[in-house]
């Protein structure tokens, strides 16, 4: 297998989502009407588990999980929750310590790097700035700017063209079974599932042959692929 490049998802893939939620937990407790005795320390593990179990099903599922576990005295509207979370995601993103160097090493070794992330340009570019990753990729596609979102094939085909590679010459590394694994496979990429959530909520979708638990395992995978 000849690999010319690696394209990444952002959320749950290139930065520490759970450390980020933990950092935001104090603001959550002061912003929402939480149950008596709910502290940032008690909230954080519940919120992390909600994210792991439900994020691929959408934020309404996350809110329902939190409500079922007694986090809220008054359950917020989805619009209120999303505005809060997106606002804080623009300010707080906790990096994996390996990410920036890993991307730099790949490019130095002649491997092209790309990013495809769903979301608004404002939010996703703020995350990249917080993480110091704005200049770490040969090509970036933020679907809110591109106009077509994953799991549609258009973002994948466009970035392959811009990287000067056939889709079959590119790995796509992401956590979401639908938006990352199935979507990239359908566009002709070689999918790599990064198991940061540890959950596979789409039994009808075939798991990929290539799987890692953390992006720090990617160099060894690339070496194994030759």
Question: Are the C-beta atoms of residues 143 and 150 closer than 8 Å to each other?
Answer: yes
pLDDT level of residue 8 (50, 70, 90 thresholds): very high
78, β-bridge pairs: none
pLDDT given for residue 94 in this prediction: 96
Rounded CA separation 204/177 (Å):
10
7, β-bridge pairs: 114, 172
Quick one: what percent of the chain has pLDDT higher than 90? 99
pLDDT level of residue 120 (50, 70, 90 thresholds): very high
Tell me the angle at which helices 78-89 and 59-68 cross, rounded to the nearest 10 degrees. Answer: 110
Residue pLDDT, tens place only, 89-112: 999 999 999 999 999 999 999 999
pLDDT given for residue 135 in this prediction: 97
CA atoms within 13 A of residue 118's CA, in its CB half-sphere: 15
pLDDT given for residue 2 in this prediction: 86
With 90 as the cut, is the pLDDT of residue 226 above it?
A: no
pLDDT level of residue 57 (50, 70, 90 thresholds): very high
Residue 2 exposed, middle or buried by CB count within 10 Å (0-12, 13-18, 19+): exposed
With 90 as the cut, is the pLDDT of residue 217 above it?
A: yes
With 80 as the cut, is the pLDDT of residue 1 above it?
A: no
Question: Are the C-beta atoms of residues 94 and 15 closer than 8 Å to each other?
Answer: yes
3-state helix, strand, coil in the chain (%, to 5): 50, 15, 35
Of 181, 151, 17, 24, whose CA–CA distance to 87 is shortest? 24
Rounded CA separation 181/210 (Å):
10
191, β-bridge pairs: 172
Residue pLDDT, tens place only, 159-216: 999 999 999 999 999 999 999 999 999 999 999 999 999 999 999 999 999 999 999 9
In the predicted model, what is the mean pLDDT of the chain?
97
Residue pLDDT, tens place only, 129-163: 999 999 999 999 999 999 999 999 999 999 999 99
pTM, two decimals, is 0.96
């Amino acid at each position: 297998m000849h690999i010319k490049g690696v394209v990444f998802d952002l959320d749950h893939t290139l930065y520490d989502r759970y450390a980020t939620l933990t950092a935001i937990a104090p603001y959550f407790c002061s912003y929402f009407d939480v149950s008596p005795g709910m502290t940032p320390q008690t909230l954080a593990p519940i919120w992390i588990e909600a994210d792991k179990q439900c994020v691929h099903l959408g934020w309404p599922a996350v809110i329902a999980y939190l409500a079922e576990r007694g986090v809220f005295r008054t359950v917020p509207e989805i619009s209120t929750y999303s505005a809060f979370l997106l606002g804080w995601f623009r300010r707080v993103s906790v990096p994996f310590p390996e990410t920036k160097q890993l991307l730099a090493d790949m490019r130095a070794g002649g491997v092209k790097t790309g990013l495809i992330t769903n979301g608004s340009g404002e939010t996703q570019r703020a995350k990249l700035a917080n993480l110091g990753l704005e200049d770490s990729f040969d090509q970036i596609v933020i679907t809110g700017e591109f106009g077509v979102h994953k799991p549609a094939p258009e973002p994948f085909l466009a970035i392959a063209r811009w990287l000067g590679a056939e889709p079959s010459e590119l790995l796509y590394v992401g956590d979401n079974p639908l938006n990352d694994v199935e979507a990239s496979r359908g566009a002709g990429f070689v999918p790599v599932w990064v198991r940061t959530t540890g959950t596979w909520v789409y039994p009808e979708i075939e798991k990929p042959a290539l799987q890692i638990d953390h992006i720090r395992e990617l160099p060894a995978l690339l070496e194994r692929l030759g």
